[in-house]
Amino acid sequence: MRIESKVVGRYLVVKVLEPRLGADRAVNFKEAMWKFVDQGQKSLVLDLSSVEFIDSTGLGAILSVLKRMGTDGELLVSGASDAVDSMFKLTRMNRIFRMFSTVDDAISAPV
Amino acid sequence: MKAMILAAGKGTRVRPITATLPKPMIPLIRKPVMEFLVEHLRNHGVRDIVVNTSHLAPLIENYFRDGDHFGVRMAYSFEGTLVDGELQGDALGSAGGMRKIQDFSGFFDETFAVLCGDALIDLDFAELLRFHKERNALVTIALRDVPREQVSKYGIVELAKDGRVVRFQEKPPVNEAKSTTANTGIYLFEPRIFDFIPAGVEFDIGSQLFPALVAHHERIFGLALPFHWLDIGSIPDFWEGTQLLLRNELPDFVLPGTEVRPGIHAGIHLSVKWDEVDIRGPVYIGSGTSIAPGARIIGPTVIGSNCVIESGAVLDQCILADYTRVSSVAALQQKIIFGTKCIDPSGKYLDIEEGQLGWIVDDARRHRQLSDAESELWEQVHSLY
C-alpha cells in the first residue's frame, strides 16, 4: 500500500498513491490509517485524487478510520474522481464525510 | 405502402445498454422504441413490414413475431450466420439489406418506406407519400430543420425550389453547410431503386446509393415536415427521450398504466401504500413492484416491473430496469440502473458487481447474500445515518 503523508497546519494530509482501493488493498490501507489515528492524529485529510476505483471494501475501510477516530476526530476527503464520488453518493457516505475537490479547499474550510 | 425497418445495427454508442439489447428494443417507459414505430406505421395504413436483423436478432423476432398482436404482418431478413451456437452478424449495409429482401421474394412491389428502428417519430407518412407521388419521385427523403450549430452531426441536404435534392453534405462543418435541413434516415422508394443497388455486396443508402442516383440525375426529392424525431443513438438521447415522454411532451404518446395519483402512472398488482410513500411525479411504476413505506421518489422517474424499493431508499430522477432492488441505504440521483450497471445520463457508468454494490442496488430475484465487507459497511452506514 503506497501512501504519502505530510503535516499542513493542524492537519495530517494522507495521499493514497494506488489507482485502486479495493479488497486487495483495503486491509493495508486500514492498518496504515489506524496507525496515524493511534498516534493521536485528530484531524486528517484523505487525498483520493490518485484513486480511480473504489469498492465497498475500500469505502468500509475509510469508514472504519472515522469510527476509530471517535467523536472528536475529523476526517475530510478530497480529490474524489467522478467514479469515486459516485460511490460515495450512492452509499450516502458523502453525507457522513465532508468532501472537497482539492486538499487546499479541505484545509482552508471552516470547521 | 409497405415498409422496411432497419434493425441490424450494433448500437455501440448506447453501451452498456446494448450489450444485451439491440437498439430497436431499448425501452422508453418500458416499451421498445421499435414498437412505437410499428404502431405508427400501422396507423398510417402500412400492413406489411420486413425487418432486417442481425445483432441479437431473436430479441426482436421473439417480441414482434408475425406482427399479429400489433395489427400488422411482419417478417425478418436475418443478416448473419450461426457459428458454434452463436449468431454472428454479416454487415450488408442499409441498401444491401434492402436488396437481399428484394432478391429473396420481390417483396417491394409498390412504393415503400425505409426507416431506422431506433428513432421515435411521429412523421405524417400520408403527407410524405402525397408529395412523393405528386413529384413522381424515385426517392423522397423526410427532412427536418436542425439548429445551425448542430449541422455537423447530420447529413445535410440542399434542395431546389421544387424540393428536388441538389446536393448532399455528410456532417459538414458549420461554416460550410449549404442548409440546415437534415436527412432523418426516413425514405420513400419506388421499386425501380433496385436498378441502382448491386447484389451481394455491402451497400449504404447515404454514402453510396444517393451519390449514384445524383450521378444518374435521378429524381430524388426531400420534404421538410415538422415532426418529432427522437434518435435513441446514445445514453444521453435515451435519457432525454424518456424524460420527454414522462413530461408528456410528445402529443401522440399516452403514458401506460392508470393515473393512481396526480402525475403518478402505475400498472397493476402493486404493493404500495400511497400515503406512506413520499412520491412526486411524473413517475411511472411498472406492474408487480413493491415500494415500502418511507421510500422517497422524485420524478421524472421510471420504475420497471417487479422492482423492490425498500424503506428509506431515495430515487431522484431515475430509470430502473425490471427486477431492480434498491436498498434502504441507497440514494440514487439521476441514475439509470440496467443489468449490473449504474449509468449516469452522460453515459459514464459503474459496474455494480465490480464495485461490490449489491447491498445498494441488486437484481430483486437474487437472494441477498452480502460479503463480510458489505455487511459490515451496511451496519456502519445504518448506524451512522
DSSP-derived secondary structure for A28-66: HHHHHHHHHHHTT--EEEEE-TT--EE-HHHHHHHHHHH
Whether residue B202 is found in the same domain as residue B276: no
pLDDT at A27 over 70: yes
Measure in Å the smallest separation between the Cα of A37 and chain B Cα atoms: 19
Residues of A in contact with B355 (CB under 8 A): 53-56, 87
Same domain for B263 and B196, yes or no, is no
Domain count, chain B: 2
Q: Are B225 and B280 contained in the same domain?
A: no
Nearest CB to B377; choose among A59, A83, A95? A59
Flag if A56 and B350 touch (Cβ within 8 Å): no
Does residue B139 sit in the same domain as residue B75? Answer: yes
How much is the average pLDDT of A52-78?
Answer: 91
Pick left, alpha or beta for residue B65 (phi over 0 → left; psi -120 to 50 → alpha; otherwise beta). left
Residue B242 covered by a domain: no
Mutation pick from B375, B376, B380 vs chain A, by most beta carbons of A within 10 Å, is B380
Q: Do B237 and B231 meet the contact criterion of CB atoms below 8 Å apart? A: yes
**Domains along chain A with CATH numbers:** 3-108 (3.30.750.24)
**Residues B307, B181 within the same domain:** no
Last residue of a domain, one of B175, B196, B231: B231
| Cross-chain CB nearest to A92 (options B355, B373, B381) | B381
Taking CB atoms and an 8 Å limit, are A56 and B356 in contact across chains?
yes
A71 in contact with chain B, both atoms CB, cutoff 8 A: no
Q: Domain with B35 in it: what CATH number?
A: 3.90.550.10
- Asked if the C-beta of B105 comes within 8 angstroms of chain A's C-beta atoms, the answer is no
Per-residue pLDDT of chain B (385 residues; tens, 9 = 90+): 999 999 997 766 677 877 788 899 999 998 999 999 999 999 999 999 999 999 789 999 999 999 999 999 999 999 999 999 888 888 799 999 999 999 999 999 999 999 999 999 999 999 999 999 999 999 999 999 999 999 998 999 999 999 999 999 989 999 999 999 999 999 999 999 999 999 989 999 998 999 999 999 999 999 999 898 888 888 999 999 999 999 988 877 888 899 999 999 999 999 999 999 999 999 999 999 999 999 999 999 999 999 999 999 999 999 999 999 999 889 999 999 998 899 999 999 989 888 888 888 999 998 877 777 677 777 777 776 5
Chain B residue with Cα closest to A89: B331
Q: Is residue B52 part of a domain?
A: yes
A56 reaches B (C-beta below 8 A): yes
Q: Are residues B68 and B152 in the same domain?
A: yes
Residue B167 lies in a domain: yes
Query: pTM score, two decimals?
Result: 0.85
- Is the CB of residue A24 less than 8 Å away from at least one CB of chain B? no
B275, part of any domain: yes
Minimum CA–CA partner of A59 in chain B? B377
Does B247 map to a domain?
no
Contact assignment for A63 to B377 by CB distance below 8 Å: yes
- The answer as to whether B20 is a domain residue is yes
CB contact under 8 A, B380 and A63: yes
Give me the pLDDT at residue B357, please.
Answer: 84
B-chain residues near A95 (CB < 8 A): 385
- Domain limits for position B46: 2-231
Q: For residues B28 and B109, state if they share a domain.
A: yes
Contact A90 B342 (CB under 8 A): yes
Look at residue B244 and tell me if it is in a domain: no
Query: Long-range contacts made by residues B347-354, C-beta under 8 angstroms, separation at least 24?
Result: B347/B234, B347/B235, B347/B236, B348/A82, B348/A83, B349/B16, B350/A83, B350/A86, B350/A87, B350/A90, B354/A55
Lowest mean pLDDT, pick from A61-65, A73-77, B231-235: B231-235
Looking at the fold, whether B137 and B283 belong to one and the same domain comes out as no
Q: Does A6 touch chain B (CB under 8 A)?
A: no
B310 and B194 assigned to the same domain: no
- Residue B11's pLDDT is 63
ipTM surpasses 0.95: no
Whether B110 and B206 share a structural domain: yes
Q: Do residues B365 and B260 both lie within one domain?
A: yes
Q: B44 with B91, same domain?
A: yes
A54 touches chain B (CB under 8 A): yes
Region at B97 (left for phi over 0; alpha for psi -120 to 50; beta for the rest): alpha
Does a structural domain hold residue B240? no
The verdict on a CB contact (< 8 Å) between B331 and A92 is yes
